């Protein structure tokens, strides 16, 4: 290699000085690229916890994945896998789940490129069997996630993916309380599902399907609380539809506005990687940038400049020139 480099230098020294500089600088840049130099730059990247709703309404089949009907949760996971591969290096992402009335963090935010395999494997394992109760108090779950974020180093953003289905139903006078420590919260609520009411598949604790939720299986109206030690009592609501599910978009918009978050609806055409890079979910961080590609590109330009323009190659004629009056017809 050293002999080839010396030969390169000898040939370069016989050329005009601009060419000599270019040909001598090119190998220096290539050697620098081999050392993998990195610069630390300030840029806006995603830094947050992505919380997935794993309650049973997220099993509703009203989304499409690879041309086939899909559950909301499966659709969300597939889009998150794609987004994970598209997020720029330097982004930090963690996973959380919501069920009953609480959110839990499964994986703290980590850099996506260095921890891609762990993030992907953890996402694969998130499913409805992780739920520890049948309730789905979404408003409380969002506030729980904000409370957790406010207590974490760096105050990561919260991206909460849900259909907004509240079970049991909310009272008309219910107003969620934003935690005091989460007044500076930032992030997004991402709505999932269709506008039409659909049946909710029912699963046992092991994830086996056991039919559909019926009108007698769920509270059709907000529970009535009393001094009875038995706890809340459900009220009859003839013709209720709480055993069916749809995207509760108005509820999620109101909830996002109350919490100081943005709202986005996840559709088949939504680029979730771009959603995660929304200004409401990103922050300015010091990110190490790889300069190898830039150094190699500059070295290539210098080599081309040093070698000189390629001589024009005359066009090759595919047939002899026809003499005047001569025909090619035989």
Q: What are phi and psi of 306, to 5 degrees?
A: -70, -35
Give the pLDDT of residue 235.
Answer: 52
Helix axes 116-124, 72-86, angle to 10 degrees: 180
For every residue of 131-175, DSSP letters joined together read --SS-B-HHHHHHHHHHHHHTSTT--EEEEEE----BSPPPTT--
**Average pLDDT of adjacent 10-residue blocks, the chain of 330 residues:** 57 57 64 61 83 96 92 97 93 95 95 95 94 89 95 93 95 87 88 96 88 90 68 58 95 95 94 93 66 64 59 46 47
Give the pLDDT of residue 313.
Answer: 39
Instruction: Kindly give, in sequence order, each residue whose CB lies less than 8 Å from that of residue 212, ignoring residues fewer than 6 positions away.
Output: 199, 200, 201, 202, 243
CA angle 47, 38, 90 (to 5 degrees): 10
Domains, the chain, with CATH or none: 2-37+291-307 (no CATH), 43-287 (3.40.50.410)
For every residue of 31-80, DSSP letters joined together read HHHHT--EEEEEEEEEEEEEEEE-SGGGG-EEEEETTEEEEHHHHHHHHH
- Residue tagged 């050329």 (tokens): 15
CA angle 282, 283, 285 (to 5 degrees): 130
Give the pLDDT of residue 101.
Answer: 93
Give the pLDDT of residue 207.
Answer: 84
d(CA 18, CA 21): 5
Contact (CB, 8 A) for 158 and 261: yes
């Amino acid at each position: 290699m050293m002999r080839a480099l010396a030969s390169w230098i000898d040939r370069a020294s016989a050329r005009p000085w601009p060419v000599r500089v270019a040909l001598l600088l090119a190998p220096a840049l290539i050697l620098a690229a081999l050392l993998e130099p990195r610069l630390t730059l300030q840029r806006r990247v995603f830094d947050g916890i992505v919380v997935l709703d794993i309650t049973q309404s997220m099993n509703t089949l009203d989304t499409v994945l690879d041309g086939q009907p899909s559950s909301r949760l499966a659709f969300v996971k597939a889009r998150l896998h794609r987004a994970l591969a598209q997020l720029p290096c330097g982004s930090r992402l963690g996973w959380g789940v919501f069920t009953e009335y609480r959110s839990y963090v499964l994986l703290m935010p980590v850099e996506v490129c260095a921890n891609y395999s762990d993030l992907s494997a953890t996402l694969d394992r998130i499913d409805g069997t992780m739920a520890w109760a049948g309730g789905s108090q979404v408003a409380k779950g969002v506030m729980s996630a904000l409370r957790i974020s406010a207590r974490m180093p760096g105050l990561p953003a919260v991206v909460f993916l849900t259909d907004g289905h509240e079970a049991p139903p909310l009272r008309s006078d219910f107003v969620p309380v934003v935690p005091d420590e989460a007044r500076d919260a930032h992030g997004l609520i991402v709505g999932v599902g269709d506008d039409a009411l659909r049946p909710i598949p029912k699963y046992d604790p092991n994830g086996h399907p056991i039919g559909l939720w019926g009108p007698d299986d769920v509270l059709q109206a907000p529970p009535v609380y009393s001094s009875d030690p038995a706890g809340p009592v459900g009220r009859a609501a003839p013709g209720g539809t709480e055993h069916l599910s749809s995207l509760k978009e108005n509820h999620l918009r109101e909830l996002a506005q109350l919490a100081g978050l943005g709202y986005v609806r996840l559709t088949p055409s939504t680029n979730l990687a771009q959603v995660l890079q929304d200004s409401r979910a990103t922050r300015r961080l010091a990110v190490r940038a790889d300069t190898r590609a830039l150094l190699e590109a500059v070295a290539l330009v210098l080599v081309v400049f040093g070698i000189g323009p390629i001589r024009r190659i005359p066009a090759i004629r595919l047939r002899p020139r026809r003499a005047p009056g001569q025909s090619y017809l035989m």
